[in-house]
A = this chain, B = another copy of it.
């Protein structure tokens, strides 16, 4: 139990530091850690044709109301564009603009890689794999906890 306490406290600190140092790493591009996460998601091949706000919210594990504001700001900055979905016209598909992709690839990605280098300096491949494994395990438990607490109100499929 004492171990659990320490673990969660460190996770809490990590969350704060990730936000702080991550945002600082890309602040010259006018980005934040969250916007970085959005661009990262949209740069995936499976998001090629655009992704709905709801799907993106579930992917990033943030509320759709929160993501909505985030997207607005990124649209304002010219990084994203949204267009109605032809198949389900309730949805708006979010895609990266050419300008956004350029900022992402030429400016943000190099800085993010440099950030990874420093933040994971003394991590071996084995360390990385193990850490990732534990984070996934923890995430899985927290997702289940979330579903149980919410009573399955919103469909939380993966």
Nearest CB of B to A31, in Å: 14
Chain A facing B: main interface SS:
helix
Considering only CB atoms and an 8 Å cut-off, how many residues of chain A contact the other chain? 57
25 contacts between A and B (CB under 8 A): A1-B113, A1-B116, A3-B128, A5-B116, A6-B132, A7-B131, A7-B132, A8-B18, A8-B22, A9-B37, A10-B135, A10-B139, A12-B33, A14-B15, A14-B139, A15-B18, A16-B61, A18-B142, A20-B61, A118-B145, A119-B141, A119-B145, A123-B134, A130-B130, A131-B134
**Interface flag for A62 (CB, 8 Å):** yes
**Copies of the polypeptide in the assembly:** 2
**Interface flag for A77 (CB, 8 Å):** no
CB–CB A116/B4 < 8 A: yes
**Interface flag for A40 (CB, 8 Å):** yes
**Interface flag for A73 (CB, 8 Å):** no
A5-B116, A113-B1 known; A142 vs B17 contact (CB < 8 Å): yes
